[in-house]
Copies of this chain bind each other. A is one copy, B any other.
């Protein structure tokens, strides 16, 4: 029997754009046909985009998806592509006796061939932790699905199914599966790639079958799918590692469970964590901007490191001509904050204009008789008001440049520096912001280009510049200590006593925990931004605002 040629299609769907996504899928099938593929495999929910959240609770949405899958089988047939076996992820209405009024959908993969849907699999294991709410919206499947091509036996699984021991994974041996095809919507997190490689190779070895792992790619709101699709043969050898963060199509040739080769034996060098994170931030921003139809972005450039990094990400994402910077100096702004902002803009090639805030601040301060924190917040709010006015007038998406450390301790002014629809470094702690800035500059040097971020923005002590001589470290611990405490409290979910046991002063720990808890109401009103860590603010960490728990 001829070996089976299987194409892994790593696509970037837009949530809800059924016809647009199908056009892209059709193109992939056509190209794969030209590459003599027998099977084309797409990611989880490639038809609808992922995650669809409560769209899954809308019957009209599910019916549209169901019909689209049926129609698409016909379209393939009519285009002479009916002999290819297409494995496509999509939402579908659950069987009516399994619906419960809230969960009326299933997370499915359909096998399309000869103009028909010849098989449909519903995901068994529904993740309902971290950013996932699948038990909320989906009815779990209970049947396994195998199909045969050229005498080889393929099993279908979806994402979480291979992360849980029981269920479909357990039945791979019983069904004499040669190759498991796994449709995934697995969002990027630092370090997750190696976890996936270990999981896939381990599964292949234990089940004695090939494992083809196809992931989505692209940004969807606060998630970034990194692609990084994988193939392991039945001995647990890694046969193919697809590139991260871009659409692609790779063909493998399968002779048997243990004999799988990548025709185009590309094996990308796994880039380091800094590169991975930078790419995630770039793709997250690019897709939020483009999928939502914004022509351009605007952001305040303070001369500080956060806005510099955000601007550099934006330029890498959508090009300098779509990025607009604004210098918003006050009477407290140092000369270097203005010159560093202009230096940055020049290096990046982005437009920058100056809008001094003094006139607005003065008239407000006088009318209301403000001083102290109220007057400091006023400066930040006038800046926010200017950015939003320019956004309204000129159509830009406003970016807010706060980092994870700032958001954690509430070191920002709500409706001030927090204004904007997207927060590019919201999940990036301050120490990592510096590290990424240095990495990005070194990367430029490696490419023989000018480093985009002014050295001065990286090296100078951080300051909000809301009063004369103010420094962040007047009111916060040193950032390396602060980020350690926050990682312990937020990412590792340690209690107060456990953090103190790491060797950190009790009063510092208490103060930081109190700041984090008290800032919950501000975070709840913050812009979304790309998750890169194991515990991002937002739907990943759901804490009450009203919360009097005293940590210990």
Q: Which A residues lie at the B interface, using CB under 8 A?
A: 14-18, 20, 51-55, 57-61, 64, 101-103, 128-130, 133, 135-136, 220-221, 287-288, 291-292, 355, 359-360, 363-364, 367-368, 370, 372-374, 377-378, 381-382, 384-386, 388-390, 392-393, 414-415, 419, 421, 493-498, 521, 524-528, 539, 541-552
Contact = CB atoms under 8 A, between A and B. Distances in A.
Contacts of A133: 133, 136, 542
A23 to B, nearest CB: 13
A166 to B, nearest CB: 12
Contact of A60 (B61, B392, B552): B552
A355 B381 contact: no
Q: How many copies does the complex hold?
A: 2
A389 B374 contact: yes
Given A60-B496, A221-B546, A548-B15, A378 B385 contact: yes
A55 B544 contact: yes
B221 A60 contact: no
A191 to B, nearest CB: 16
A57 B527 CA distance: 24
Contact of A54 (B364, B495, B541): B541
A497 B60 contact: yes
Contact of A549 (B16, B57, B547): B16
B364 A377 contact: no
Contact of A552 (B55, B64, B220, B377): B64
Given A53-B542, A421-B521, A364 B368 contact: no
A355 to B, nearest CB: 7
Contacts of A54: 541-543
Given A60-B495, A221-B544, A288-B546, 17 more contacts: A14-B548, A15-B544, A15-B547, A20-B548, A53-B544, A54-B542, A57-B493, A292-B546, A359-B363, A368-B386, A368-B390, A370-B392, A374-B389, A377-B392, A415-B415, A415-B419, A521-B528
Contacts of A17: 548-549
A385 B415 contact: yes
B384 A415 contact: yes
A60 B393 contact: no
- Which of A53, A292, A415, A550 has the most chain B CB atoms closer than 10 A to its own CB? A415
A142 B525 CA distance: 39
11 contacts: A14-B548, A15-B546, A53-B543, A55-B549, A59-B495, A101-B129, A128-B136, A129-B136, A359-B363, A373-B392, A377-B392
